[in-house]
Amino acid sequence: MKEIIRELILSILLSLILIFILSILLFKTSISEEIIKPATMGIVIISLMIGAFRISKAKKQKGILYGSLLRIIYMFILYLVSSFANFEFYLGIDSIIMIILGIIGGAVGGIIGVNFQK
């Protein structure tokens, strides 16, 4: 459980750093704001893949299970934070797409982590 919490914190920190970089790029350049949703989804997927990869590599087994567990906790926290920020608890199509992509990212990262050989 300690590893899951550590990788969860790493995934969240990585997401925050990448979102901060994205916000600076949007502020300093003429990049369209239409890129925010796809970029945010990409950031979530990358963060989950890295976290799932690292935990599965350390455990050396059950990559899909650990990747999925990391994804469930991460997405739950993300949903709670965004719901409180928007003052509404709503599960729309964007949330469902984010959850599905999170499942895929966590599972792929877990599979790669288990099969990664040094």
Residue pLDDT, tens place only, 14-41 = 989 998 999 898 888 888 888 888 888 8
- List pLDDT tens digits, range 36-70: 888 888 888 888 888 888 887 777 777 777 777 87
Q: Which residues of 62-83 are buried (b: 16+ CB within 10 A; e: fewer)?
A: ebbebbbbbbebbbeebbeeee
pLDDT in tens, 98-117: 778 777 777 777 788 777 75
d(CA 100, CA 98): 6
Checking if the pLDDT of 5 tops 60, the result is yes
**Cα–chain center distance at 50:** 9
pTM: 0.76
Specify the pLDDT at position 117: 57
